[in-house]
Amino acid sequence: MFTIDAHLDLGMNAMEWNRDLRSSISEIRDREKTMTDKPDRGKGTVCLPSLRKGDIGLVVATQIARYVAPDNSLPGWHSPEQAWAQTQAQLAWYKTMEEAGEMVQVKDLDSLDQQVKNWMNTDAAENKKIGYILSLEGADSLLTVEYLERAYAYGLRAVGPAHYGPGRYANGTDASGKMGPNGLALLKKMETLNIILDTTHLCDDAFWQALENFNGHIWASHNNCRALVNHNRQYSDEQIKALIERGAVIGAAMDAWMIVPNWVRGQSTPRGMNCSLDTLIDHIDHICQLAGNTLHVGIGSDLDGAFGTEQTPYDMDTIADLQKIPSLLTKRGYSKKDIEHIMHGNWLRFLYKAWA
């Protein structure tokens, strides 16, 4: 089934992990088999051939580069200027993939229509270009709010103001506190440019403030449910209901610690914690039950978000295994139309409305 994945860090994987994503998963893993600099070396799950194999024809692909102050122990760049430069390197990679015939940017209704049409009408998988919508995960790299206009001009269509910890525009996961004048100015500029607000990673204070101050289109590209895994990275039922009221779509994320409770990083294993795709369906189902329908949840896998098979559902080897989800939903009683909504229809409907 045609699938849309609303969150992949492809540019980061190419430029910081130094992965040639045109290669197969086995080739990428083999090249990394002696490397130990990152926990997911030799365990990656995402590459362009696997996206094609999994019928994933449209993704929301990120630029990501965090600024860290001297007292911030998180990994990141030591100046906003360096962070900006890193996002531009990632942008250059996306553009190079376009020139190589591997990817195509989607940024308006015409390009969206064309990508869906081309994907559906091209038989040979190797000839299919992966469509990508450019998103910024964490706004630290925007030197000023005015830089958003420059980014919009090169195709940026969604922004998540925060990532982990304290940010220059908003506080994110494991932090707290409302946005200051810069954050509110960012929201206003996004609204003016019709840039989608991605509420993912906003701390609770900033989440509610953003909903009060932003009148544009809102989604949550990769979030699961706090009712099932109690952590501030997840959304409470109250937050999910507020997003539903705003017409948002929430992407189900595949990071194991977000799927099952009591995960211990570096110790827990997916099989040991019984973390499977069926467990992920619990989060999808929870959102559907709160909404009373299947119109507000999709896929936002984050499968290349600095983790690999050591921290994904045990029945996933590559991102192509997203195609196991429809049969699991069928077993839960979801109709074919419901499943189409979740796999691609909700994201498409959202985009057609946002870009109308």
Running DSSP on this structure, what letter comes out for residue 118?
Answer: H
Q: What is the pTM of this model?
A: 0.97
**Amino acid occupying residue 65:** A
What is the H or E stretch that residue 84 is in? helix 80-99
**Overall domain count for the chain:** 1
C-alpha span between 209 and 201 (Å, rounded) = 14
Q: How confident is the model at residue 126 (pLDDT cuts 50, 70, 90)?
A: confident
First-last CA distance in the chain: 25
Q: Which residues pair with 297 in a beta bridge?
A: 250
Q: What's 94's domain CATH number?
A: 3.20.20.140
Cα four-point dihedral sign 240, 242, 243, 244: positive
Mean pLDDT of all residues in 249-260: 98
Name the 3-class secondary structure at 177.
coil
- On whether the CB atoms of residues 48 and 22 are closer than 8 A, the answer is yes
pLDDT surpasses 90 at 322: yes
Mean pLDDT of all residues in 205-217: 98
Boundaries of domain holding 90:
3-354
Mean pLDDT of all residues in 60-71: 96
